[in-house]
Amino acid sequence: MEWLNYIAWFFGGAFLTNAIPHFTNGVSDRAFQSIFSRPPGVGLSSSSLNIVWGFMNLVVAWLLLARVGTFDVRVPLHALALGFGVLLMGLALARTFGRFHGGNDPQRSE
């Protein structure tokens, strides 16, 4: 069932994208929202916890991309599955975290 590979690669892209804000905020020594905060996804978690959470997301992404099927970034459909996962998770994260950091306010002037 080759279509299951595409679903796995889509979620690999989603996990890869989710790793970025957690890991970068963690190594920048900034508290950031995570599923471990209270309330989950709203409160702040420590920078160390965000590094661990970001790394766990990277591991899951690697498992989905490197261990499911034969992912090849040079195959357009493979890259498209990954890309849609990256795009949709990126939009979801922007919407979720933007409400805490001012990213979803169209009236905001920069």
pLDDT digits over 37-56, tens only? 888 878 899 999 999 999 99
pLDDT at site 11: 98
Strand (E) or helix (H) holding 85 = helix 76-101
d(CA 77, CA 86): 14
pLDDT digits over 54-72, tens only? 999 999 999 999 999 999 9
3-state helix, strand, coil in the chain (%, to 5): 65, 5, 30
pTM, two decimals, is 0.85
pLDDT at site 107: 57
